[in-house]
Amino acid sequence: MVSKKRSTLFKTVTGTITTALLASSLAFSGASAQTTNYEFGSQDFTIAFKSQSVPSDFNAFMNSLGAKVETELNSIGVVQVEVAGNPTKFLKSTLSHKEVLTVTPSIEMPLDLPDVEAEEMGTVGTAMPELPTLAKEDSIWGTSYQWDIQRVTNNGASHEISSGSKDTVVAVIDSGFDLNHPDLVDNIVPGSKTFVPGTTDAMDYNSHGTHVAGTIGANGRMKGIAPEVGLRAYRVFGATGGAQQIWITNAILAAADDDVDVINMSLGGFRTNGQWNYIDPTTGERIKLGGDSADIVAYNRAIRYAVNKGVTVVAAAGNDAQDLSNPAKLTDWYNGYLRSLGYTQYDIQGATINVPAGIPGVISVSATGGGFGTEDRLAFFSNYGNGKIDLAAPGGDVGPDYPTTGKRVAGDHVFLVLSTIPTYIGQSSTAVKAFGEGGYGWKAGTSMATPQVSGVAAAYIDHVFKTTGKKPSPKQVQTHLQQTAEDIGKKGYDAYYGHGLVNAYNALTK
């Protein structure tokens, strides 16, 4: 066994939850689990300093410990380092440094998507409306394929008021874009970047980022929420869907420095803000790593940096079907999840939150399911929680009976969110048959709901700027979107939908 484990793209939400809960029921026995043949690999650690700068002597200090500094974020006082072999000596020495606030193992953030991408899969249940088969020259916009965008824009009425412009730019921190996609290319502004080591551009080899971008600002056969808005890719995921938290915070800082107006993060994971403990598997020695999570410190500082520069930050609430308002229960869940990934040398006490959606200053988005006139409901995978959700948006699912019966609605792609995908990777034969060409596909998740809120934010910011010559602050944007949201579910604020379903037309007319 090695001490450094990489998480992979979640295949099913329900499977992940089951694995984690089973793992959390096992008694942790790290202190007594001593071995003589333990095989150590290498592991990354995130270090946060007491001040928001990196001490000038720290690189030399790391070199003296045999650690390699991989990423340095001097504007927020955070670094990531790689340590080979048993990290006990490194941890003790680093924690004794007078400028170090806390040290936390760097754990990959997965692209957390439910397994409901529409393909030729056997389905059961009630048949849904027949959808048209289109020729290549036919517009997809205006058909019922884009039920989600139609819902949020009042059937495109908001486009007539504000469809955005290149004066307003949305940074999509994700897996990159198909930079030449015909529905996106005219809206992509210069300056896309990659933060994934070993890559040289922001091209998307996963499909997630391109899908998100299309929902925000597609302008071709499909239409996004704000089809004239500027788009820029900040790539933090590789093709297999894993990202280091330091890449994400680095991208947040870069986007803020690039003067974007909105940051969309259709990503997330759990982190515990409390006591992390490392148990040396060869001796059983327990080492306290600090009273804060370095990841949460980094996110707090990076988000505050962006908001102070006038950036509205929007993030997914997550697809784990968890109540985010119960941090103690989440800690038990998260401990089990870490062990399921192989991080058996750690245990944690404290309050667990979803990041970055749970960081102050971020608009947290849950997902609704349904479409075609069906009743609004929380998507079966969506996280929720009193005080933890700000807004909701359509995210798709496969029917209200799926969680309890496993039955998918026949023609289940009509419940999912259609958007752009790269033209150069594997295509959905369902989409090719429907549209006469590739470049389009269906997904579901809070990842798909989040860009709808970002698109509305961009359209509103651009409208205010064109009207007044001044852009609203992030707080003003959030407040306005909440006040103009469509109240669904329980009257007033509720744990499932927050202040309600985001509505572009209301945001531009009220």
Token pair, residue 125, equals: 């249940």
What tokens does 20 get?
A: 């984690």
Specify whether 447 is catalytic.
Answer: yes
> What residues pair up with 277 in beta bridges, in sequence order?
288, 347
Tell me how far apart the alpha carbons of residues 462 and 281 are, in angstroms, rounded to a whole number. Answer: 55
Of the residues 175, 364, 447, 454, only one is catalytic, namely 447
Active site residue 364: no
Length of the chain as a residue count: 510
Distances (CA, A) of 212 to 216, 329, 390, 449, 504: 7, 31, 19, 9, 17
Q: Which residues contact 264 (CB under 8 A, 6 or more apart)?
A: 170, 171, 172, 173, 174, 212, 216, 314, 315, 450, 451, 454
Q: Is 174 a catalytic residue?
A: yes
Q: Which helix (H) or strand (E) holds 393?
A: strand 391-394
The distance from CA 420 to its chain's CA centroid, rounded to whole angstroms, is 18
CA distance 168 to 368: 27
Burial of 425 (0-12, 13-18, 19+ CB in 10 A): middle
Counts of helices then strands in the chain (DSSP H, E): 13, 19
Which candidate in 112, 148, 174, 183 is catalytic? 174
How far apart (Å, rounded) are the C-alpha atoms in residues 488 and 490? Answer: 6
DSSP 325-389: T-HHHHHHHHHHHHHHHT-TTEEEEEEEEEETTTSTTEEEEEEEE--TTPPPEE-TT--B-TTT-
Element holding 265 (H helix, E strand): strand 262-265
* Neighbour-count burial of 482, counting CB atoms closer than 10 A to its CB (0-12 exposed, 13-18 middle, 19+ buried): middle
Q: Are 79 and 295 in contact (CB under 8 A)?
A: no
Q: Which of 208, 413, 463, 499 is catalytic?
A: 208
Report the DSSP pairing between strands 109-110 and 169-174.
Answer: unpaired
Residues annotated as catalytic are: 174, 208, 447
